[in-house]
Amino acid sequence: MHHFHGSCHCGNLEVDYSTAIAPADSAVRACQCSFCRKHDARAISDPDGTIEIIVNQPDLLERYRFELGVTDYLLCRKCGVYVSAYSQRDSEAYANVMVNVLDARAQFPAPGPVHLDGEDELGKWQRRAKNWTPATMRILGQ
Ligand SMILES: [Zn+2]
């Protein structure tokens, strides 16, 4: 297993990503939605891996939502960095991680564009349950 640690710029939001996929073999995705394009986001995930999001200061976590409103785009309110997209239904959650926040970001290859427009809520959930990484969120100080 490979273990990758990452964080937003100020360290409020941290991510621990474990995967059997080596960085060079990772399929890095540049989502072409209006939000991801503004961040020049590069995302990775592994359905056989795990992601833990650690929130050090809960009041500085932004769960930005748009369009269907079924996804939490996790941003730090202090430094503005986009860390992860997080999708939860009941106790089940899947996430991806933005390569740009990982300490090892330079090891990952260039992204390929993906277009995901036109999905409905169920379609999004089914794709994420298949392709994204099982995720947990640990909120400290609560
Ligand atoms: Zn921050």
More confident residue, 7 or 120: 7
Cβ neighbours of residue 23 closer than 8 Å, sequence gap 6 or more: 2, 104, 107, 108, 109
CA of 25 to the centre of ligand 1 (A): 29
Tens of pLDDT, residues 37-46: 999 999 999 9
- Exposure string over 97-124, b if 16+ CB within 10 A, otherwise e: bbbbbbeeeeebeebeeeeeeeeeeeeb
Measure 48 CA to ligand 1 centroid, in angstroms.
28
pLDDT of residue 112 exceeding 70, the answer is yes
pLDDT at 118: 82
All structural domains of the chain: 2-139 (2.170.150.70)
Determine the distance separating the centroid of ligand 1 and the alpha carbon of 75, expressed in angstroms: 8
Confidence band of 33 (pLDDT split at 50, 70, 90): confident
Per-residue confidence band for 117, with pLDDT thresholds at 50, 70 and 90: confident
Residue 142 has pLDDT above 70, yes or no: no
Report the separation in Å between the CA atom of 107 and the middle of ligand 1, taken as the mean of its atom positions. 22
Alpha-carbon distance of 26 to 40, in angstroms, equals: 18
Taking a 5 Å cut-off on Cβ, the residues next to ion ligand 1 are 8, 10, 12, 76, 78-79
